[in-house]
Amino acid sequence: MEQVVRVGDIDNDRYDRSKRLGWFDIEKVKKAKVLVVGAGALGNETCKDLVLSGFRNITLVDMDRIVMSNLNRCIFFSEEDARKKRYKAEVMAEKLKIIDSSVRIKAIVDKIENLPDGFIPSHDIVLGCLDNISARLHVNAHAYYGRVPYIDGATHGLIGKVQVVIPPETSCIECGMNVTHNKIRNMRYSCTGNDISFFEPKIPADINTTSIISAVQVQEALKVVHGRWSNVIKNIFYYDGNRNFSEVMELEINPACPNHGEIII
């Protein structure tokens, strides 16, 4: 039987151009349960790219409210949102539905550390869009233990990186921890009590770098969902916007890393 192709059918398919990649399977993308931790600049760009790429089951976790300084790098936040000090996760959940009304996005206003142990492993893939070491290590440990792929993004001015963690094959975030990281983490953990807080200074941010890093995160998520393991970044993608330079660096498993104890034994 001949297949009848009507004029305009191609343009009526939202994912026609993606399907022309050859390996793209929209059903696999739609079925994937994605967790995004962090609804700041990276979270805004990452969620935008996820929805445009066809992901339909997204859970977003963030505890913060919107402030004016978010507005130059967060596409989903408005001046009114900042004036009302609305929660980032809730606003993003609303605005993402404007891009595609069929997206199912659950907003959770809380610290990721406060959620049950089984929460992170209940997803198929996790994307980290965080700005602090402690939360990043928490997500890394639970994802690795639950054997869930974790794609971590980070920026500092015009510098950015994406680390892809595929348990139990690759190293993890903890494997790359250095003395400075541990000092910051220990300071945070030592600040207990209601009257003591640990201040981490704000870091420079650039929306162009943020866009690049988040795009790489979602591109890697698509590779993972499609099982294109030979094409997945082997550990760390490093980007330097000062020189328009990028490279992929390999990070070996650290034998002293607690997340790899059972592998080493």
User: What residue numbers bound the domain in which 42 lies?
Assistant: 22-264
pLDDT at 177: 87
Q: Is residue 132 part of a domain?
A: yes
* Residue 156 β-bridge partners: 159
Q: Does any domain span residue 7?
A: no
For residue 178, pLDDT beyond 70: no
Please report which confidence band the pLDDT of residue 130 belongs to, taking 50, 70 and 90 as the band edges. Answer: very high
Q: How far apart are CA 1 and CA 256, in angstroms?
A: 63
Write down the pLDDT at residue 8: 63
Residue 83 pLDDT greater than 50, yes or no: yes
Stretch 230-251: mean pLDDT:
95
- Range of lowest pLDDT (81-90, 205-214, 250-259): 250-259
Answering whether pTM is above 0.75, one says yes
Q: Which of 29, 35, 33, 226 is nearest to 126 (CA)?
A: 35
User: What is the pLDDT confidence band of residue 208, given thresholds at 50, 70 and 90?
Assistant: very high
Evaluate whether residue 11 is within a structural domain: no
Taking only the tens place, the pLDDT of each residue in 26-56 is 999 999 999 999 999 999 999 999 999 999 9
- Whose tokens are 């790359």? That residue is 176
Q: Is residue 130 part of a domain?
A: yes
* pLDDT on residue 17: 93
Query: Is 1 domain-assigned?
Result: no
pLDDT at 191: 38
User: Which CATH number fits the domain that encloses residue 69?
Assistant: 3.40.50.720
Residue 233 domain-assigned (yes or no): yes
- Give domain status of residue 12, yes or no: no
Residue 8 in domain: no
Q: What is the pLDDT of residues 141-167, one digit of tens each?
A: 999 999 999 999 999 999 999 999 999
Q: Are 258 and 177 in contact (CB under 8 A)?
A: no
For 159-186, what is the mean pLDDT? 79
- pLDDT score for 235: 87
- In this predicted structure, the answer to whether residue 73 has a pLDDT above a threshold of 60 is yes
- Number of domains comprising the chain: 1
